Homo-oligomer: A and B are copies of this chain.
Amino acid sequence: MGGPMASNLALTAGRRVVVWNRSPDKAEALAAAVAAAAKAAGSGGGGGGGDAPAAGEIVIAGSPAEVVAACDITYAMLSTPAAADAVYHAAAGGALAAVTPGKALVDCSTFDVATSTATAAAVTARGGRFLEAPVSGSKVPAETGTLVFLAAGDRSLYEEVGGDLDAMGKRAFYLGAVGAGTRMKLVVNTTMITVLSALAEAIALTEATDGADAVAALHEVLAQGAMANPMYALKGPKMAAGAKAYAPNFPLEHAQKDLRFTLALAEEATVPMPVAAATNALFVAAKARGLGRDDFCAVVEALRP
């Protein structure tokens, strides 16, 4: 995710972006690709000093701390709590140690509320500003600059980074104090996962009672109805086709983790979510069948004989 986001910051927002990645090769490939694209855009832009922003560039840093030291605003996009721990807290080169008054951190990762709150506290304790900004959308929207940012935390920072978010996404929401962005992300993902599970059950029942032709008709009927949605159009045929089609855009075990976090939120808030709870139980059963690393639409396999 981080690569295309940095690319859009450089090429669309015209930013000079200092990057660090655990795999230096990836960072170098990104820098080269951006340089080539900027050059092509520059020559394509013609001589006459058009109104296009000057194309930016990618500069490679040696550690997270170097990024923070070099920049007023640092964006983070991290995949796991372990990665976050390494990037923020590493004894040598950890990002947090470099935070000083005036520095700002925008974390686009998705973890749970406790993790986000702890990072915010560490940044502000050192005089910095913090914005959580988890994104709705995965790889393709990152590339096409159509992510949706669910931001929360320092409002002035949110307003300052507006142009950057525009370059990386199609919409941004400011949702309040730190935690609100993570909660929105979890709620939206939980909705998506339950919506998909409804389709999984519909497919499993239809193929058992009326066979594959009826499942093909089901896709078409749903496409005509009030709950027609892009995900059904994309995932429905994959689910009907079965086991070979589950390349993981969103791994089933990550979906189950999001369900668990959401249910924990709901229990703290004393809100019953019986449908999400049943969905979570189904996803645990799917994991028990060895489907954890398939795409989350593989949940349909847990309903098949």
Residue ranges of A at the interface with B (Cβ–Cβ < 8 Å): 136-137, 148, 150, 170-171, 173, 175-176, 180, 183-184, 187-188, 190-192, 194-199, 201-202, 204-206, 208-210, 213-214, 217-218, 220-222, 224-232, 234, 256, 260, 262-267, 269-282, 284-285, 287-289, 292, 303, 305
The answer on a CB contact under 8 Å between B218 and A188 is yes
Q: Please report the C-alpha to C-alpha distance between residue A217 and residue B60 in the assembled complex, in whole angstroms.
A: 37
Q: Which 10 A-B pairs have the closest CB atoms?
A: A278-B278, A194-B198, A272-B285, A226-B231, A274-B281, A229-B229, A208-B269, A277-B281, A201-B273, A227-B229
Quick one: which of B187, B194, B225 contacts A192, CB cutoff 8 A?
Answer: B225
The answer on a CB contact under 8 Å between A194 and B194 is yes
Q: What chain B residues lie within 8 Å of A199 (beta carbons)?
A: 191
Q: Given that A199-B191, A217-B184 are contacting pairs, would A275 and B275 also be in contact in the complex, using a CB cutoff of 8 Å?
A: yes
Q: Given that A175-B210, A209-B265, A227-B230 are contacting pairs, would A218 and B271 also be in contact in the complex, using a CB cutoff of 8 Å?
A: no
Q: Please report the C-alpha to C-alpha distance between residue A176 and residue B222 in the assembled complex, in whole angstroms.
A: 18
Quick one: which of B190, B205, B229, B232 contacts A271, CB cutoff 8 A?
Answer: B205
The answer on a CB contact under 8 Å between B227 and A228 is no
The answer on a CB contact under 8 Å between B227 and A226 is no
